[in-house]
Amino acid sequence: MTRYRNLGLFVVLAAIWGSAFMAIKAGLEFFPPVLFAALRYDVAGVIMLAYALFVTDAPLPRGRAEWTEIAIGSVLLIAAYHALLFVGETDPAVTSAAAAVIVSLSPVLTTGFARVFLPSERLTTLGIVGLLLGLVGVAVLSELDPNNLLAGGTVAKLLVFGAAASFALGSVLTRRIESEMPIETMEAWSMLGGALLMHVLSVGLGESFTDVVVNTESMLALGYLSIAASAIGFLIYFDLLERLGPIEINLVSYVAPIFAALSGWAFLSEVPTLATVGGFALIFLGFVLLKRGAIQRELRHRFGDGVSMTD
């Protein structure tokens, strides 16, 4: 029964996070991009803080280590990631599926950053190949033209790539900090801090609340991203992380693009291109090569010792 519960929650999380790319794309018709991202985390941060107050005994950060973790989360995991993602998705060439596929590179980049900031860990030859395959996948998806690097949404897709890199780097740096802060507290204050930073950036970019169009569609997009994708999505993620572990939960990044493509097609009439499919295949193959050892251990745990992958 627990297995079916975990599978059901996994599919729900992939659907929520995958369709969030469609909601971003839809909401950008009515909001300036950075202001849209900031408002999303105003709401999500308040909800998460209320949840932290309810479920933890330490809803406030304490000491240098915890505030450092909050600073990293605010700057890299929330502000930089979402500002770059939302601005990137303003380009019509960046479909919901394309954005989701580029973001699915984050686990690959996380492994690469971990090797840089944790010198005791070294990439093997196959690991280097896996990392390069992931980067090639982004290049294929971005349809890079050496003769015209500004054409075809390339810059916008590279902004989304920058978002994935920011999230990956933030994930690695927060792991290096020895903090006993509850994850709910960390997420709540990172969301609120990131929202504040994005409001400052929004003002600096000349965005204004007068540019916001308030209607049913805009409020549905904001509500879905704030409540479903952020608050509910992260609560499901935390639950599955504890039950499944980091390897299996990482696979959400590779299921989410399917739901991003389906929701983009259903609501925005977006049709995935061959470049999107090819880029996704290369990124996923890169992930398998980088994580082959952990995947092999997980398969042995699930199915016995008959499974092996060349190391």
Of 21-35, 140-154, 223-237, the range with the highest mean pLDDT is 21-35
pLDDT of 123: 60
pLDDT of 38: 98
pLDDT of 174: 83
pLDDT tens by residue, 31-73: 999 999 999 999 999 999 999 999 999 899 988 999 999 999 9
Higher pLDDT, 290 or 185: 185
**Residues 6 or more apart from 77 whose CB is under 8 A from it?**
166, 167, 170, 171, 174, 190, 194
Q: Give Rg (Cα) of the chain.
A: 19
Report how far residue 241's alpha carbon sits from residue 249's, in angstroms, rounded to the nearest whole number.
Answer: 6
pLDDT tens by residue, 96-132: 888 888 888 787 787 778 777 766 555 667 767 776 7
User: Is residue 142 predicted with pLDDT exceeding 60?
Assistant: no
pLDDT of 102: 85
The predicted model gives 164-172 an average pLDDT of 88
pTM metric for this prediction: 0.82
% the chain with pLDDT above 70: 83
Report how far residue 200's alpha carbon sits from residue 193's, in angstroms, rounded to the nearest whole number.
Answer: 11
Helix ranges restricted to H, 89-226: 96-103, 106-117, 125-142, 154-176, 183-204, 216-223
User: Is residue 205 predicted with pLDDT exceeding 80?
Assistant: yes
User: Is residue 213 predicted with pLDDT exceeding 80?
Assistant: yes
pLDDT of 310: 45
Confidence class of residue 261 from pLDDT cuts 50, 70 and 90? confident
Best CA proximity match to 135, nearest among 163, 91, 168, 102: 102
Computed over every residue of the chain, the mean pLDDT equals: 83
